[in-house]
């Protein structure tokens, strides 16, 4: 299993029937492809679609069905569309049970930077600021390193998305939670040791006394 699908599959285990969940662009969209059997949730996209399904197979996408980043999605029976005012009303009104967002950096205190790299063309803020602030649970899907450099850092060098601490970070190496604003290693990926996670991480991690291996 590749890194992105591993991350998406582990995050899908956080879903519970009846949840209203927003999936950001990139790795988060893949979570819908790993929904556990018997779990029924409502996926929402901030461009005004509730009831999105798995990413369509190549050649089977509909030109008018996309996520907020313009990537193809599917619509499940009972799906509905609405305008941006309604969509952001759901987000800002605290009606989202969970949001899954990509990340550029996450600090050891649980702060997220995911919307801009100065001097480079990136998608921009979109709804990320509202999602981090408004969702009841914030989960970050992010690869652990980029070009050999840790993305789990002591302090974010990139502009922050919000001052709210995220709840959970899932990478291809580890699951990290932030109780009391302190990065705590909760799980390691199959075949990955605690020592390997620590070596690949700039941030100082506490080790949970109940640490375990991811169950995928």
Positions marked catalytic: 46
Domain ranges of the chain: 3-213
> Which CATH superfamily includes the segment(s) 3-213?
Glutaconate Coenzyme A-transferase (3.40.1080.10)
Comparing CA positions, the residue from 24, 4, 21, 11 lying closest to residue 129 is 24
Express each pLDDT in 84-126 by its tens digit. Answer: 899 999 999 999 999 999 999 999 999 999 987 777 766 666 7
How many residues in the chain?
A: 216
Express each pLDDT in 153-211 by its tens digit. Answer: 999 999 999 999 999 999 999 999 999 999 999 999 999 999 999 999 999 999 999 99
Q: Distance between CA 193 and CA 190 in Å, rounded?
A: 8
The torsion angles phi and psi of 187, rounded to 5 degrees, stand at: -145, 150
Give the predicted TM-score (pTM) of the model.
Answer: 0.93
**What is the number of alpha carbons within 13 Å of residue 2 lying toward its C-beta?**
4
Place of tokens 């929904």: 35
């Amino acid at each position: 299993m590749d890194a992105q699908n591993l991350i998406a599959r582990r995050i899908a285990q956080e879903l519970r029937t009846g949840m209203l969940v927003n999936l950001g662009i990139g790795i988060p969209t893949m979570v819908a492809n790993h929904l556990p059997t018997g779990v029924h949730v409502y996926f929402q996209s901030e461009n005004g679609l509730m009831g999105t399904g798995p990413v369509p197979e190549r050649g089977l996408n509909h030109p008018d069905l996309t996520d907020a980043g313009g990537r193809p999605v599917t619509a499940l029976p009972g799906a509905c569309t609405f305008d941006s005012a309604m969509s952001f009303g759901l987000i800002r009104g605290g009606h989202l049970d969970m949001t899954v967002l990509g990340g550029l950096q996450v600090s050891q205190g649980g702060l997220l930077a995911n919307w801009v790299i100065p001097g480079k063309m990136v998608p921009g803020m979109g709804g990320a600021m509202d999602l981090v602030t408004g969702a009841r649970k914030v989960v970050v899907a992010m690869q652990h390193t980029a070009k050999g450099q840790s993305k789990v850092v002591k302090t974010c060098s990139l502009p922050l998305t919000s001052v709210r601490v995220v709840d959970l970070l899932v990478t291809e190496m580890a699951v990290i939670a932030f109780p009391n604003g302190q990065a705590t290693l909760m799980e390691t990926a199959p075949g990955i040791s605690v020592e390997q996670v620590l070596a690949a991480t700039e941030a100082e991690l506490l080790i949970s006394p109940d640490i375990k291996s991811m169950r995928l």
